[in-house]
Structure 1
Amino acid sequence: MPDRSVHSVITSPPYWRKRRYLPTDHPDADKEIGQEPSPGEFLATLLSITDELWRVVRDDGTIWVNLGDTAAGSGGAGGDYNEGGDRAGQNRWKAASWPTDGMAAERGFPLRKSTCWIPELFGASLAYGRNLLTGDPCRQWVVRPKVTWCKPRVTPGQCDDRFRTATELIVWAAKRRDYYFDAAAIAQERADSGNRTRAGPGPRPGGRGRGPPGGPPRQPNHQGLRSRPATRGCHRSTGGSSTRPATTAPTSPRSRPS
């Protein structure tokens, strides 16, 4: 793809040690994203992809990457298993492939049953310009506040000693601080008045108060996105039946993000 030709990338790569999309005897089975032998190597794969995205995304563009996590030592095929415990055509990872507790830290693994925290590590690695598990450098992005996808219908399955996972993380990042962001297009009506709440006068880059390249200047507006009155400066815009990402937004100049 040509350099700087894409406005935005929205993607959800395979999660680590969750599913196999190719038969195990396929010659390219080991090249699938998500089949890496360790969390650090999986993170390296994701960061190599975002390094390439840096080339094709415009300077005012953004990337949005949805990632789910993995419980250490378990793996699985996505949750909706057949009677034998496997999803059709997909193999479960065996706990035997996980290092013993005494070797986990030395080999770069969490203890069995621990959450791997891969989505958070991915976002933090983009922010710091370094694979936080291996130390290898990568492109440094402007990482914006995380977006939480709240799922009203969660995957069924056995859950005896933890809360059922009903959210996934969306990592949102830009190449520079004055990225393009049309907040007015996603404004919601306020429940208290019925008036449409606008987060700005129109499309503008995030946090800079300017319109699209070549356009007229925009006046900043600090009204936050919300579906009911905000308290103490911010409000999570989620509801019991909503599938919109949960986020927070400023409601005064003093709480405006940088």
Structure 2
Amino acid sequence: MDILSLLGLLLGLIALIGGNFLEGGSWQALVNGPAALIVIGGTLAAALLQFPWLQVRRALSIFPWVFYPPQTPYKAGLQSVVGWADTARKRGLLGLEHYTETETDLFARKGLQLLIDGQEREAIRRTLETDMVLNEQRNLDAAKFFEAMGGYAPTVGIIGAVMGLIHVMRNLADPDQLGSGIAIAFVATIYGVTFANLFLLPVANKIKNCVYQQSQYQELITEGIVAIAEGEHPRSIQTKLESFLPQV
């Protein structure tokens, strides 16, 4: 689990509730069912109206990346590529066949199969880069689902606030009804802004960051496989690919 993501979410909630408490309020003042229904339901409805089902399903499937990001083992990938290069240098490209049976990464396995099939290096590069770009675009499009919700939430919160004020105006003669209407008006705005800026937009950006890391890892694999196809020495390949390693 990504502890920083969980810590960021908890810290945001603590800051919101703690600030309200220091101002003399209580946590009950921030709990309002109608306001939550308006903001969450309205935001989700607007996003569902905008995006096709396949994109929504993809967005929901990669949402766990926020707390369980996919692994991008740069060092292990580099070592694998160097190992493939060493095997190809000693036993030829056909010597890589057993790696296709043990390699768990589908992208790397496809690259190895292209090598074994004797594809030209430019054909290998085009095929792998096409897969990389299309996969990146699909995931970025899915992240836009949460980004769009982050744009809608504050506006829907304002709609909830206006609805609360309308409720207040209709009950000016009944003081008992004023409190609930004013609560919906202000709490809905808080829900909309908080939902967008402490959850939806960070989720979208976290997913984008995971996508970029995946693409960088796949680029490392691509460059390594193309270098093997060109017959470069394993040490030369290692030196070239070390630039992909994350810098602390």
Q: TM-score range by the shorter chain?
A: under 0.3
User: Considering only CA atoms, is the larger Rg found in Structure 1 or Structure 2?
Assistant: 2
Query: TM (normalized to structure 1)?
Result: 0.23
Query: TM (normalized to structure 2)?
Result: 0.24
Higher strand proportion:
1
> Which of the pair has the greater relative contact order for Cα pairs under 8 Å at 6+ separation?
2
